[in-house]
């Protein structure tokens, strides 16, 4: 490598070295071991029905790629059928299909809140929401995690300081690293009192919670001040994201949302796959029920071993604290055949490095018992 090239990349090398020294250097790893890490909660990613639906679509002439943006020739019948069926399934006026949950969150926050508005973000929302807020025209502030009073106080302080615009409250219904649930009833009420909007990211709840997997915000769908992001790459086993909203909001996004207007449309085959996943939710409710039983079983098993489960969902964090210790523990469990990954800052707050244990229908009760036995042996039964 030439000295000129070395000088050009020196800053990047130094940054990587600093990450390594702090036990935060990331590397790509292959899939190995029993799945305790994926978000394929209902085991739909490899389900025969999903494969059959995609194969049939290919045989019928569905193109692999859309070939253009939705406003040009990329608007396919498969997209429109999915959006119509999704709106009906979730109980919303309309739906709009994006290429992924990250881009959907970013797109909403950089399009709908206007200059002079206020975004109130829960402290633990996904990185895509933070990035969207930073790029938004609106001001944004952070409220304490799952604390409705903090949201209320943040709005009132902003009004006292002269804020005159619209308020947007942005939360996840189920938090991806802590596995806890948002107080949606309180947040809906706060949004109503302040004539504001509530945006709910249902990424880890869609397919898992609510009647037939409609999500935790299902009972509020259809309200004009609610926007919901239903990620399709987790429990739905495909890719993309559906935004459910009022007709006016959808039309505004189609006309003003740059990540929608200037992006090639998602693959029509993914629209077919998501449609099939929504049908499976309705026709095979036993998947949702089996997962609920596995979640309850796991939390009971943790208690029986003297542990304390910090969540009540399919996401079970084991807080370690120190980055290096978390990664060493993950490596030992991987060596014993369990695919469990360590999560470190900035994904989680400093000092809360953890194992994120994910429960899916790709595993069974015996797998859970074996994993918990290994975890408690490796940690000498420490309760976290």
Among candidate residues 35, 105, 122, 126, the one labeled active-site is: 126
State yes or no: cis peptide before 346, omega within 30 of 0. Answer: yes
Choose the catalytic residue: 79, 130, 194, 204. 204
Instruction: Assess whether 378 carries a catalytic annotation.
Output: no
Structure tokens at 260: 């929608």
Active site residue 8: no
234 neighbors 203 (Cβ within 8 angstroms): yes
Cα 184 to the center of its chain, rounded Å: 16
Q: Is 75 one of the annotated active-site residues of the chain?
A: no
Closest CA to 120 of 100, 82, 92, 148: 148
Selecting among 128, 136, 146, 176, the annotated active-site residue is 176
Q: Is 176 among the catalytic positions?
A: yes
Q: Active-site residue among 234, 267, 276, 358?
A: 234
* CA-wise closest residue to 106 among 1, 229, 265: 229
Q: In angstroms, what CA-CA distances link 135 with 103, 247, 248, 264? A: 13, 25, 23, 21
Q: Which residues contact 319 (CB under 8 A, 6 or more apart)?
A: 310, 352, 353, 354, 384
**Cα 32 vs. chain centroid, distance in angstroms?**
23
- Per the residue annotation, which of 172, 178, 202, 276 is the catalytic one? 172
Which of the following is catalytic: 35, 39, 128, 230? 39
Whether 276 sits among the annotated catalytic residues: the reply is no
3-state SS assignment for residue 30: coil
Q: Are 98 and 260 in contact (CB under 8 A)?
A: yes
Measured from the Cβ of residue 158, the count of other Cβ atoms closer than 10 Å reads 18
Catalytic residue among 83, 152, 180, 201: 201
Report the catalytic residues: 39, 126, 172, 176, 201, 204, 234
């Amino acid at each position: 490598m030439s000295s000129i090239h070395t000088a050009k990349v020196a800053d990047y090398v130094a940054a990587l070295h600093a990450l390594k020294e702090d036990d935060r250097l990331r590397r790509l790893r292959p899939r190995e071991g029993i799945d305790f890490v994926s978000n394929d909660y209902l085991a739909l990613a490899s389900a025969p029905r999903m494969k059959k639906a995609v194969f049939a679509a290919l045989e019928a002439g569905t193109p692999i790629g859309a070939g253009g943006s939705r406003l040009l020739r990329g608007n396919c019948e498969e997209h429109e059928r999915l959006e119509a069926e999704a709106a009906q399934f979730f109980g919303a006026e309309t739906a709009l299909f994006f290429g992924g949950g990250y881009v959907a969150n970013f797109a909403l926050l950089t399009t709908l809140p206007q200059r002079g508005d206020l975004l109130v973000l829960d402290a633990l929302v996904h990185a895509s929401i933070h990035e969207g807020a930073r790029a938004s025209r609106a001001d944004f502030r952070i409220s304490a995690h799952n604390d409705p009073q903090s949201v209320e106080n943040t709005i009132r302080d902003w009004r006292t300081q002269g804020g005159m615009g619209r308020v947007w409250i942005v939360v996840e219904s189920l938090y991806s690293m802590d596995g806890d649930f948002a107080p949606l009833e309180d947040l809906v009420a706060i949004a109503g009192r302040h004539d504001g909007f509530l945006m709910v990211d249902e990424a880890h709840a869609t397919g898992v919670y609510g009647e037939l997997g409609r999500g935790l915000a299902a009972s509020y769908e259809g309200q004009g001040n609610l926007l919901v992001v239903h990620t399709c790459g987790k429990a739905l086993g495909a890719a993309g994201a559906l935004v459910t909203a009022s007709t006016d909001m959808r039309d505004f996004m189609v006309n003003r949302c740059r990540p929608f207007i200037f992006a090639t449309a998602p693959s029509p085959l993914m629209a077919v796959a998501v449609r099939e996943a929504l049908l499976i939710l309705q026709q095979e409710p036993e998947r949702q029920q089996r997962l609920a039983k596995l979640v309850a079983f796991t939390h009971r098993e943790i208690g029986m071993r003297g542990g304390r489960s910090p969540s009540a969902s399919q996401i079970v964090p084991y807080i370690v604290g120190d980055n290096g210790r978390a990664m060493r523990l993950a490596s030992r469990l991987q060596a014993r055949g369990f695919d469990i990954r360590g999560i470190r800052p900035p994904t989680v707050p400093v000092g809360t490095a953890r194992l994120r244990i994910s429960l899916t229908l790709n595993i069974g009760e015996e797998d859970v018992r074996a994993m918990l036995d290994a975890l408690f042996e490796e940690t000498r039964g420490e309760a976290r």
